[in-house]
Structure 1
Amino acid sequence: MSRRSLLAASGAALAVALAACTANDPLARQANAGDNKNYIAGDGSVTEYAAHDRSQPVEFSGKLFDGTTVDAAALRGKVTILNFWYAACSPCRLEAPDLQALHTEFAPNGVNFYGVNVRDEKATAEAFERTFKLSYPSLMDKDGGVLLALTKFVPPAAVPTTLVLDKQGRVSARILGTADKGTLKALITTALAVK
């Protein structure tokens, strides 16, 4: 067998193996679909991490659209919600009113809410925030710095993704896709109950 034939056969075998690995992965199927919807939506699946299974406290630093710097270390001591979004993402639009309602409900308990905008310029992000009357701030993350930093702890893997950080700054839960209001409320309540 010639070297060229061997390489072609190896490439075909690798393609078949990769296809088999991703055949049951809904995110991989969306990525390969090529349907130009411009986002990879999760399936709404929820992963909760028991206290002994949680990673180290997350580490990231980013700037809000108003220029204020947010460092993960400063968030410790409070439950924090991080929601990855951008304005043209239809599931992000769907969940925005529920996120605002939960922010309003849990703000008196000291729960931090932050958006992490993965695509938009300031004007677009601010228009979205005005439209949905969002009162919590968002980090600018067009360069992917926050997303990449968090991938070391738990991969967001879809937009939207919502992470719940416990009071120690560890990921206690992840929702891939649109956050169901009741589910997210329960996750926040659980995180608040842990001293």
Structure 2
Amino acid sequence: MRVAATLLAAAVVLTGCASDPLAEQYTEGSNKGYIAGDGTVTEIAESERGESISFAGTTETGDELSSADFDGDVLVVNFWYAACAPCRAEAPALQELSAEYDGKGAQFVGVNVYDQADTAISFNETYDITYPSIMDVADGAVKLAFTGTVPPKAVPTTLVLDKDGRVAARILGQLKDASILDTLIRDAIAE
């Protein structure tokens, strides 16, 4: 009887995991090296946003960077790494928007979750990325800072923080169209 109950409980748990698309990608064994999001955009109403997110780290060039460096601006935070195909595909759009909003109320920062600094620098040179990235592979402290509110479950994940440093929107997976992120940024600046 105990064995049957244990097997039934295991089947229920495994069935619950099978309905999760991210879990399915992980267990399918495709060896693509990442779990891709589906491009879902989640906006969080101003009245429902949690506390501001505080984070700090060292960039690919060795500079110290923290959330306080962006106080008063909308901040776009992109979780990425160089071997991630969707990260490479969205890089030009992120750079274009970063340049467009430079000095206009929004800033960008990457959070590299896998690479060493030299790989990130090479990626930046290849895709003409001018905004900094925090190297988060050693301790995952930046990714951990976001887990209490809107965790970045897949790479890439792009978050828009409002002027108070609270998560206002999340794009889970590759940015499919720059106009989506552009709208999220404009809305956050207008608040």
TM-score by length of 1: 0.92
| Secondary structure at the counterpart of residue 73 of structure 1 | helix
User: In the comparison of the two structures, how many residue pairs are matched?
Assistant: 189
Q: What amino acid maps onto 1:193 in structure 2?
A: A
Residue 181 of structure 2 is aligned to residue 190 of structure 1: no
User: For 1:72 and 1:10, how far apart are their aligned partners in 2?
Assistant: 49
Q: Deviation of residue 119 (structure 1)?
A: 0.4
Residue 40 of structure 2 is aligned to residue 40 of structure 1: no
Q: What amino acid maps onto 2:173 in structure 1?
A: G
Greater Cα offset, 82-91 or 31-40: 31-40
User: For 1:32 and 1:10, how far apart are their aligned partners in 2?
Assistant: 25
Q: Deviation of residue 66 (structure 1)?
A: 1.7
Residue 59 of structure 2 is aligned to residue 64 of structure 1: yes
User: For 2:142 and 2:69, how far apart are their aligned partners in 1?
Assistant: 15
User: For 1:27 and 1:95, how far apart are their aligned partners in 2?
Assistant: 20
Residue 161 of structure 2 is aligned to residue 160 of structure 1: no
User: For 2:15 and 2:179, how far apart are their aligned partners in 1?
Assistant: 35
Residue 112 of structure 2 is aligned to residue 117 of structure 1: yes
> Structure 1 residues 9, 80: CA separation in 2 closer, same or farther (over 3 Å shift)?
same
Show the 5 A alignment for 1:6-25: 6=2, 8-25=3-20
Tell me the equivalent position of 2:173: 177
Rg larger in 1 or in 2?
A: 1
Greater Cα offset, 30-39 or 161-170: 30-39
Q: Deviation of residue 24 (structure 1)?
A: 2.8
Q: What amino acid maps onto 2:68 in structure 1?
A: A
Greater Cα offset, 167-176 or 142-151: 142-151
Residue 45 of structure 2 is aligned to residue 31 of structure 1: no
Q: Deviation of residue 62 (structure 1)?
A: 1.1
Q: What amino acid maps onto 1:169 in structure 2?
A: G
Residue 151 of structure 2 is aligned to residue 144 of structure 1: no
Partner deviation per Cα, 1:131-153 (whole Å, 9 max, x = no partner):
00001010000021111111112
Note if contact 2:105-2:189 (Cα within 8 Å) is conserved in structure 1.
no
| Secondary structure at the counterpart of residue 57 of structure 1 | coil
Unpaired segments ≥5 residues, structure 1? none
> Structure 1 residues 11, 70: CA separation in 2 closer, same or farther (over 3 Å shift)?
farther
User: For 1:11 and 1:140, how far apart are their aligned partners in 2?
Assistant: 43
User: For 1:135 and 1:11, how far apart are their aligned partners in 2?
Assistant: 54
